[in-house]
Amino acid sequence: MKVLVTGGAGFIGSNLVKQLIEDGNEVVVLDNLMSGYRENLNPYPGVHFTEGDVRDETIVADAMHGIEVVFHLAASVGNKRSIDYPLTDAGINVMGTLTVLEAARNAGVRKIVASSSAGIFGELKTLPIREDHPVEPDTPYGSTKLCMEKLCLAYAKLYPIEAICLRYFNVYGPNQRFDAYGNVIPIFAFGMLEKGSITIFGDGEQTRDFVNVRDVVQANIRAAMAKGVSGAFNIGSGTRVTINHLAGLIRDLVPSKTALTYGAPRPGDVRHSLADINAARNAFGFEPSVSLEDGLEEYMAWVSTVLK
Ligand SMILES: NC(=O)c1ccc[n+]([C@@H]2O[C@H](COP(=O)([O-])OP(=O)(O)OC[C@H]3O[C@@H](n4cnc5c(N)ncnc54)[C@H](O)[C@@H]3O)[C@@H](O)[C@H]2O)c1
């Protein structure tokens, strides 16, 4: 199968590319390297890489030739980035998605699997979160991801293209680097190994559902294979831990003990998060298989190679 991965040089995208290549697919990647790394794709010389922007109609149309499935991951990622740069966030996540959808329908693509986010829900009213939980995003990022979903699902109603939107909870794993907009696991991991100290925002009793990137890759591929299925689905581990517990697990994996300090809660952060994953389980057989303990051990081993 010939597939296009937008954002394929990023954290989740490069892990997806790895599996797609191992499964024998022909893989085209379109990425402008805004937050991705060309070297993430170095192990896969067979990948057709185009450096370009999903907002560029010509480049996207060129990348779409002969494609059966589009995995759309390219995005301006994260709450904080969207608060700092709301216009860029909307440009990429809304107009970029629309550009991909237009090119996909013109090229006769069978399916688009788009990366959405639990950020669309906003503060949670019930736990675990099912897909029919109210969607009241607290940030521009959550709002543009919701808009992205609605565009994909509208195209699936209007045209002969199937669309599955995967609402990831907190994803972690190899190739997830630390940056100013990073998620908590890379921030803790790099902070403990490099600085010997980390700051927990709030009291640390907030909870998150951490899902390993290998399980997210599995969700993407099973969603692509599920013929006749469109819709939006939660993708998490179906379990949650407090940030204090997470910090303890990571601290157990580093040689020298880390100082923990506490700071003010961050704007836009929800208090609790936990995915109900039964809909994805029933629709396309999603079944997370990597425990947080095993996943963190693998992640910390990868971080050590980066810091060498
Ligand atoms: N990491 C998480 O916990 C998480 C959670 C929920 C949703 N997501 C979603 O998963 C997807 C992948 O995220 P990630 O964590 O791998 O982040 P990432 O930043 O590593 O990947 C995003 C990729 O998109 C590329 N990109 C950005 N703007 C682009 C543009 N205009 N044109 C082409 N490429 C562009 C970046 O260079 C990068 O390679 C995103 O859609 C994100 O919103 C991630």
| Known catalytic residue at 141 | yes
Give dist(CA 306, CA 308) in Å, integer: 6
Is 0.85 topped by the overall pTM? yes
What is the model's pLDDT at position 37? Answer: 97
Please, where are the H alpha helices in 68-158?
79-84, 86-90, 97-106, 140-158
The catalytic position among 85, 141, 159, 262 is 141
Ligand 1 pocket, Cβ-based, cut-off 6 angstroms: 6-7, 9-13, 30-36, 53-55, 73-77, 92, 96, 115, 117, 168, 170-171, 183
Specify the pairing of strand 2-6 against strand 69-72: parallel
What is the model's pLDDT at position 268? Answer: 65
What is the model's pLDDT at position 117? Answer: 97
What is the model's pLDDT at position 181? Answer: 67
Structural domains in the chain plus CATH codes: 2-173+211-236 (3.40.50.720)
Q: Give mean pLDDT in consecutive 10-residue pieces for the chain, a chain of 308 residues.
A: 98 98 98 97 97 98 98 95 96 98 98 97 92 96 98 98 97 89 88 90 96 98 97 98 96 87 84 95 98 97 89
